[in-house]
Structure 1
Amino acid sequence: MQRRFYRILLSGWLLTTSITAMAQQKKHSDRPNIIFILADDLGYGNLTSFNPRSPIPTPNIDNLGTEGIRFTRFYSGNTVCAPSRCALLTGKNMGHSYIRGNTRLPLRPQDSTLAQVLQQNGYATGMFGKWGLGEMGTTGSPEIKGFDEFYGYLNQGHAHDYYTNYLYQVKAGKISKIKHDTTVYTHDEIMEHAYSFINENKDKPFFLYLSITVPHAELDPPKKDLQQWLNPDGSSKLGPETPYAQNGGTYRSQQNPHAAFAAMVTKLDQNVGQIQALIKQLGLDDNTYIFFTSDNGPHKEGGADPEYFNSNGPLKGLKRDLYEGGIRVPLLVRAPGHIPAGKVSDEEWAFWDILPTFSALTKSKTLHGIDGLNYASALEDKKPDKVHDYLYWQFNEGYIQEAVLQGDWKLIRFKYKGKGERFELYNIVDDIGETKDLAAENPAKVKSLKAIMAKAKTPAENKEFDWSDTEK
């Protein structure tokens, strides 16, 4: 009898909370909540809605597209994490971005961010996971760049350790280094902070940037998560396995890397389902956009096996490539009442368009002098008033890569120090897997795209990205 009383009491409290939240949300219906979920190194083919051959079911993530829209030609800011995040938050592509490679350089005072734009429009702003754009005490620290709350890692190297003894936290505008229990999986703690942020800000417009670390290596999820992918005798359900040995490297050893990767993607999918359930429970469903994407293509580190999982689906290339597999990423968006359900779009846009698009959705002031365009109408499966003439990327780890995409055509440039430049040309509509280089057959197209490539960039503002020596 007493248990029944408490169940009734709890149900009543939840109903009252939901009704109150709905009433408060109606007061700011012109400023919808936005949840932006950024997976780490999740491939285009790691979601079953993009690749039916994937052996890991992702029903909750796929549901965002079922009840919203799925974009098949969306692109990340770059092919590794720091510059990709810089493009996302500052609205600039790699031809103009301050951060153009994996680095610990901080954003500068003049590098305004999406979070600052929304914060200035009255949004509560929270970021949980991996930052990558400035250490504590620098001009790029997250509390300086527009986030009221933060919990997680400040740089990408530290984010490789899921059982670290410290993390960073922003509260009341101040950042601090805090102790972390080394027996607790950091991703679980990060998610708990994200859920709390949603609950605490349910009565006001909020922006949640959930830049989680899974399924990036290291492949060492909690045993309870791994169990689903193991047979009763402890062997992997996804054999044959090739055990990964740390041998003094960054990532912990893993006997069953296939099972571990599957466990991480499954956990990610469950988390996305929990966010959707929480939004519905709080009565925020009709005034909340949920975006889901990845920072770049799949990795091959710490025992990861993208070939086994068909992680890039029909695409060629991985993380650190400017082939489609390194930069084309899944995007699913759900917002009942704002976005029609069950749509699939081949609209071509990229990370640097997120800032002006969110500015339009929230009626916030946008930034000037950026590369991004407003693609809000694309979310409704309509043609935007203005679209890009081309998209551009550059990357350098050992050799220079550049890519320009214009319509169906993509030109990739390769330049090693002391060697001549080399170009590859693909029609990515006819040849999504970039299997047939058409450069020799189409010299005029190569020439025109090469000219675009030359004008798409300005000299890097930091000497770390001055690659003139490699150009020799």
Structure 2
Amino acid sequence: MEKIRTLTMLSAGLLATVSAAGTETAGQTDKTDKNGKPNIIFILCDDMGYGDLGCYGQKYIHTPNLDRMAEEGMRFTQAYAGSPVSAPSRASLMTGQHSGHGHVRGNKEYWNNGQTVMYGKNVDHAVVGQEPYDPQHIILPEVMKRNGYTTGMFGKWAGGYEGSVSTPDKRGVDEYYGYICQFQAHLYYPNFLNRYSRSAGDTAVVREVLEENIQYPMFGDDYKKRTQYSADLIHQKALEWLDKQDGSQPFYGFFTYTLPHAELAQPNDSILKAYKKQFFTDKTWGGSEGSRYNPAEHTHAEFAGMITRLDAYVGEILAKLKEKGLDKNTLVIFSSDNGPHEEGGADPEFFGRDGKLRGLKRQCYEGGIRVPFIAWWPGHVPAGTVNDHQLAFYDVMPTFCELTGDKRFPKKYLNKKLEGDCFDGISFAPTLLGQDDRQQKHDFLYWEFHETDQIGVRAGDWKMVVVKGTPRLYNLATDIHEDHDVAAEHPDIVKQLTDIIRQEHRESKLFPITLPK
């Protein structure tokens, strides 16, 4: 098993990264698919708040590559995740459905069935994963396959447990490496990762044991002796897959990095050491073995380092595209699956991570669902633009279909045998291409999350958050922080938004919610 490499980039007293978006490679040629279809890479990080990047106002964390990506592309200010928590948010992106229609609406787990397996002296779960995507409803990698794309996914799956009806090998993914289970992803130095490679002859997802890691315990003082760092291993696999692309066939890459989700752990290389100096007075955190979050001695340094490390990964992806002459025919989108968290010792208040928005992960307030969203495609996406178009993750599928010239969406992808099968998104391809006058807008955006019993609806500047059946109304034009509930003053607006909820919500036995009266 190969050891992880470390990122050792330190320049002019600041953390330097690959900043490749602005460089040229001698002799490179523009490799365009013969059918004119663009390559697409969607980079989805984990629990990054709206204000965690420099280009979104972050003052403490260095993100030069993502800042440059925004300078050379389009930065969205009103883009929304599919849900305020991981699995259903990813499900919204995958299915093109909002969380009132989709099957997966929460983090239902399948790892706690009591069956175990040993890795060295470490007891682990024999089956891991979350509620499967409905196999009767098509998902994004399957759509891309039908459009002639080769598909690679690297990172967190969270769309079905091992052996279920919905694993990457069964859902249109040609190459996969990462965590099938998001609970397993709580460890950055895990006992194993999952793999599926069609080209290598795999017939199903398998576990790849990390032999160097299992020599040490999963929790405690010796945990940091583990050497195989999952974020880096996943990124290396993504780069290897990308390096194999030669322009003969369009490709779709879905890179679902687990950074900067807790636990706060990473190699003690130049990135982390620099932040330890920057945050000389730092907090510690005692850990939570049941949640698989190990103790952290430098919580602020660890968190900042994780985001800068992710930024370096993005820089390497853009560099690889330019090196191979694929940049001018590749759309790259970067976003986060939901808002910031307080798990594992993270301290969102210190970093101002909500970007002046109220709420955190698991809440339908703006801070839980409004996310960074950057699009980069040289020569196609207007450089240096900031756009306030309101979009949500369920808009991604129709957007990609329009960009690939697929005129079959949505009619040809609806399953007539599945009652009520639907899609909820609107393509934002016109906005991406600088054609705002052609852009269709949403009448409303919709979220629901059973764990905190919350529903969110946004219509124009009006935003209603329903908590345990009680509506709270806010005017985002004048109250972006959602401090002033004006429901009593606007009963007509409350009724309109309540009618939307009753129209959009479909009952779910797995994920029940309290509707407003």
With normalisation by structure 2, the TM-score equals: 0.82
Query: What one-letter code is carried by the residue in structure 1 that aligns with 2:284?
Result: P
Correspondence for 1:108: 134
2:449 is the counterpart of 1:395: yes
Q: 5 Å matches for 1:173-192?
A: 174=203, 175-180=205-210, 181-182=212-213, 183-192=227-236
Q: Distance in 2 between matches of 1:32 and 1:136?
A: 32
2:87 is the counterpart of 1:42: no
Query: What one-letter code is carried by the residue in structure 2 that aligns with 1:73?
Result: Q
- Quote how far apart the aligned CAs of 1:448 are: 1.4
Correspondence for 2:157: 131
> Which residue, out of 70, 74, 84, partners 1:79?
84
CA 1:106 to 1:281, structure 2 compared with 1: closer, same or farther past 3 Å? same
Correspondence for 1:464: 510
Correspondence for 2:217: none
Query: What one-letter code is carried by the residue in structure 1 that aligns with 2:474?
Result: Y
CA 1:38 to 1:32, structure 2 compared with 1: closer, same or farther past 3 Å? same
Deviation string 1:373-422 (CA, Å, 9 cap, x unpaired) is: 1110011233344321101110121x41111100000011111xxxxx32
Q: Distance in 1 between matches of 2:484 and 2:434?
A: 31
Q: 5 Å matches for 1:423-462?
A: 423-460=471-508
Q: Distance in 1 between matches of 2:383 and 2:63?
A: 18
Q: Distance in 2 between matches of 1:459 and 1:121?
A: 33
Q: 5 Å matches for 1:59-458?
A: 59-103=64-108, 104-172=130-198, 174=203, 175-180=205-210, 181-182=212-213, 183-203=227-247, 204-224=249-269, 225-231=271-277, 237-246=278-287, 248-249=289-290, 250-364=292-406, 365-366=408-409, 367-368=413-414, 369-383=422-436, 384-397=438-451, 399-415=452-468, 421-458=469-506
Q: Distance in 2 between matches of 1:429 and 1:156?
A: 36
Gaps of 5+ in 2: 1-24, 109-129, 214-226, 415-421
Query: What one-letter code is carried by the residue in structure 2 that aligns with 1:245?
Result: G
Q: Distance in 1 between matches of 2:207 and 2:516?
A: 41
Q: Distance in 1 between matches of 2:59 and 2:97?
A: 33
- Quote how far apart the aligned CAs of 1:451 are: 1.3
- Quote how far apart the aligned CAs of 1:467 are: 4.2
Q: Distance in 2 between matches of 1:91 and 1:438?
A: 32
- Quote how far apart the aligned CAs of 1:15 are: 6.3
With normalisation by structure 1, the TM-score equals: 0.90
Deviation string 1:336-357 (CA, Å, 9 cap, x unpaired) is: 1111111111000100000010
- Quote how far apart the aligned CAs of 1:242 are: 2.2
Gaps of 5+ in 1: 1-13, 232-236, 416-420
Query: What one-letter code is carried by the residue in structure 2 that aligns with 1:244?
Result: W
Give me the identity figure in percent.
42
Q: Secondary structure at the match of 1:464?
A: coil
Q: Distance in 1 between matches of 2:512 and 2:255?
A: 32
Q: Distance in 2 between matches of 1:440 and 1:127?
A: 47
- Quote how far apart the aligned CAs of 1:111 are: 2.2
Contact 1:239-1:258 at 8 Å conserved across structures:
no
Q: Number of residue pairs matched?
A: 439
